[in-house]
Amino acid sequence: MTASDNREDERYIVLNRPDMWRRGLMAGLRELPEGGLALSEKPVYAAHSVYAPIKLPPGEEPVDFAVGLGPTLYLLREGGRRLDLYDVAAGRWFDMLDFVVSGLQGATRLAYRDGMLYLAAGTGERRLGAISELTGQLVWTADASGDRTGRPWPHASGEASNEPLDWRAGAMAVDWREGSLYVLDRLQRRMLQLDATGRAVRVFGREELDDAQPSAIAVSAAGDVYVLDGLHRRVHRFREGLEKGRFGIPLAAPAGLAADADGVVYVGESRPLSDGAEEDRYIHRYGTLGEPLGPLPGYRGPAHKLFIGESGDLYAWNREQSAIVPLQRRSVLAGGGSGQLIEGYYFSAALDSTEAAMRWHKLVLDASVPDNAQLEVSWLYGEHKRLELQGAVRDLDAYLADSSIDPSVKAIALNALDWSEARLNPRDMLLSGIGGRYIWLRIRFIASGDRSPELRSVTAWCPRQSYLRYMPAVYSEDQNGRDFLERYLSLFETFLSASERTIDRIARWFDADAVSGEYLRWLAGWLHVAYDENWPEEKLRRLLGEIPALYRIRGTREGLLRIIELYTGERPFIVETFQLRCAASAEVRETFVRLFGEDPYRFTVLLKTGQAGEESERRTVRRLIEDDKPAHTAASLVPLQPWIYLDRHTYLGVNTYLSRPSSAMEETGGAVIGQDTLLTDDGKSGFVQGKSSVGLDTVLI
The per-residue pLDDT for range 686-701, each reduced to its tens digit, is: 444 444 555 545 555 5
**Residue 140 CB neighbour total at 10 angstroms:** 21
Higher-pLDDT residue of 326, 578: 326
Start-to-end CA span in the chain (Å): 69
CA atoms within 13 A of residue 254's CA, in its CB half-sphere = 26
Q: Which residues pair with 38 in a beta bridge?
A: 30
207-216 contact pairs (CB < 8 A, 24+): 207/156, 208/236, 208/238, 208/243, 208/246, 209/236, 212/236, 213/186, 214/170, 214/171, 214/184, 214/186, 214/189, 215/170, 215/171, 215/186, 215/255, 216/171, 216/184, 216/255, 216/256, 216/257, 216/305, 216/306
Cβ-in-10-Å burial (0-12, 13-18, 19+) of 346 comes to buried
Strands 602-607 and 634-639: parallel
Query: What are the residue ranges spanned by the domains of the chain?
Result: 2-40+338-465, 46-333, 557-658
The top-level CATH class assigned to 2-40+338-465 is mainly beta
- H or E element in which residue 457 lies: strand 454-462
The length of the chain in residues reads 701
CA distances from 565 to 92, 551, 640 (A): 55, 15, 16
Residue 20: what are its φ and ψ, rounded to 5°? Answer: -80, -40
Confidence band of 305 (pLDDT split at 50, 70, 90) = very high
- Within 8 A by CB and 6+ apart from 168, the residues are 122, 123, 127, 185, 186, 187
Which pLDDT value is given to residue 544? 83
CATH 2.120.10.30 describes domain 46-333? yes
Look up residue 152 and give its DSSP letter: B
Helix (H, G, I), strand (E, B) or coil at 700: coil
Which residue in 253, 214, 255 sits closest to 237, CA to CA? 214
The listed range with the strongest mean pLDDT (4-8, 308-312, 584-588, 671-675) is 308-312
Helix (H, G, I), strand (E, B) or coil at 624: helix
Rounded Cα gap, residues 686 and 696, in angstroms: 9
Report yes or no: 200 and 181 within 8 Å, Cβ to Cβ. no
Report yes or no: 238 and 224 within 8 Å, Cβ to Cβ. yes
Which pLDDT value is given to residue 159? 45
pLDDT tens digits for 141-200? Answer: 877 666 665 555 555 444 445 555 567 888 999 998 888 899 998 888 899 998 888 888
Residue 521 has pLDDT above 90, yes or no: no
